[in-house]
Amino acid sequence: MRCLDLHTHILPGVDDGAQTVEESIQLLTAMKEQGITDVVATPHFDATHHNLPDFIERIRSAYREVQNAAAGLDLPHVFVGSEVFYFNGIGKSNGIRVLSMGGSRYFLLELPGCKLDKQIIADIVGLRENLRLIPILAHIERYAGQRGFKEVLKLIESGVALGQINATSLVEPHTKRLVLKLIKKNAVSFVATDSHSPDTRPPRMQEGLQVVADTFGENQRHIFIANSDHICQKLKDTIYEE
């Protein structure tokens, strides 16, 4: 069974993640040590700041750098997606489909740090119903204190969207209780690292999954890995190709 890390910032020089290809290789090496076999690079995309064609070209170039540097090394396999920041009307934006994970239907969505209003909820539903994408809501623990979060949980409960938490949030004392509560509510389908840097934001997958096993038993850890393996089987080595 493969262990997929579906939320990472390993591509060099494209966002606030790895800044050099050397850092990218360091992150991939650390991920291998954490038992991660496959990785989705999910650079930040913000429609208010990025031009989509230019963004795609930058990611393709950064991906080629990593592939060339990793050639011959026994490192996790890298697929490409994006962490797409919510914008009004995203649920009807056909062009955004190109940013899904490895040509699959899975789509990593970052929600805004404000009230999660009816328009946001409608757009999440639209991603599923209009665009036939499966929204994975990035680091849902960050939204728990926002108005409207209960409506987001209802979307997850109904299967419209899936929830992802950061492994670090399982380890850090100030977030651990919250994410364990979300797991208990069956609001979490995936644990990912959201790694940005080998020094300041390294992957902590095994530590996080160990907390899961210690709290809920080995079966729950197995479920998270199996969920990631299921997605891994859907991914292709395509870089934003429709």
**Mind listing the pLDDT tens digit for each residue in 119-177?**
999 999 999 999 999 999 999 999 999 999 999 999 999 999 999 999 999 999 999 99
Residue 239 within a domain = no
CB 43 within 8 A of CB 83: yes
CB 101 within 8 A of CB 240: no
The residues, any chain, with a CB within 8 Å of residue 36's CB and separated by 6 or more, are: 3, 4, 5, 76, 193, 203, 205
Is pLDDT at 242 greater than 60 in this prediction?
Answer: no
Spatial distance between the Cα atoms of 106 and 192, rounded to a whole number of angstroms: 14
- State the pLDDT at residue 6: 98
Q: What's the number of domains the chain is made of? A: 1
Spatial distance between the Cα atoms of 33 and 84, rounded to a whole number of angstroms: 28
Q: How confident is the model at residue 241 (pLDDT cuts 50, 70, 90)?
A: confident
CB 79 within 8 A of CB 41: yes
Is pLDDT at 239 greater than 90 in this prediction?
Answer: no
- State the pLDDT at residue 127: 98
Residue 9 within a domain = yes
Could you give the dihedral angle defined by the CA atoms of residues 231, 233, 236 and 241, in that order, rounded to the nearest 10 degrees? -40
Spatial distance between the Cα atoms of 18 and 16, rounded to a whole number of angstroms: 7
What's the CATH code of the domain at 114? 3.20.20.140
Residue 61 within a domain = yes
* Residue range(s) defining the domain that contains residue 183: 4-232
Residue 124 within a domain = yes
Spatial distance between the Cα atoms of 72 and 83, rounded to a whole number of angstroms: 28
Q: Which long-range contacts (CB under 8 A, 24 or more apart) does 57-60 make?
A: 58/14, 59/11, 59/14, 59/239, 59/240, 60/239, 60/240
